[in-house]
Chain A
Amino acid sequence: MTTTKKVPIRYYRFRNRLRDKAMTGFVDDGSPGAISTEALDAAEAEFDKMAEGYPDWVQGHIETMYDHYRHCVEKPKSRRMCFRKLTFIAHDMRGQGGTFGYDLISIVGGSLYEFADFHKDGKIEDKHVELVGAHIDAMKALIAGRINGDGGAVGKELLNSLEKAKEKYANAH
Chain B
Amino acid sequence: MAAYSLDRLSVLVAEDNSYLGSLMMQSLRAMGVGNVRRVEHGGEAIDLLRLMTKDPTKAGLMSVDLILSNWQMSPVDGMMLLRWVRRHKESPNRFIPFIMVTGYADQDKVHEAREMGVTEILAKPFSVGSMAKHILQVIDRPRQFVHNPTYFGPDRRRQIKTLVDGKERRVRTDDEIDIVHDDN
With A22-B8, A43-B128 in contact, do A95 and B103 touch (Cβ < 8 Å)?
yes
Partner of B4, one of A34, A42, A47, A99: A34
Q: Could you tell me the distance in whole angstroms from the C-beta of A93 to the nearest C-beta in chain B?
A: 9
B32 at the interface (CB under 8 A from A): yes
Query: CB-defined interface of B141-178 with A at 8 Å, one 1/0 digit per residue?
Result: 11011111100000100000000000000001001111
Chain B residue contacts of A26, Cβ below 8 A: 2
Could you tell me the dominant secondary structure of chain A's interface residues?
helix
Given A11-B177, A21-B65, A96-B124, check contact A88 B72 (CB 8 Å). Answer: yes
Chain A contacts for B4, CB-based, 8 A: 22-23, 33-35
How many angstroms between the C-alpha atoms of A67 and B80 in the bound complex? 30
Contacts A13-B179, A35-B32 given; does A95 touch B20 at CB 8 Å? yes
Q: A22-B5, A43-B27, A99-B125 are in contact. Are A35 and B135 (CB under 8 A)?
A: yes
User: When the two chains form the complex, which single residue of B141, B155, B176 contacts A7, counting CB atoms closer than 8 Å?
Assistant: B176
Partner of A33, one of B2, B125, B183: B2
Find out whether the CB atom of B182 lies under 8 angstroms from the CB atom of A32: no
Q: Which residues of A contact B (CB under 8 A)?
A: 1-5, 7-16, 18-19, 21-26, 31-36, 39-40, 42-47, 49-50, 53-54, 57-58, 88, 91-92, 94-100, 103, 106, 110, 113
What are 7 A-B interface contacts by the 8 Å CB criterion? A10-B179, A11-B145, A18-B142, A35-B31, A92-B17, A99-B20, A99-B23
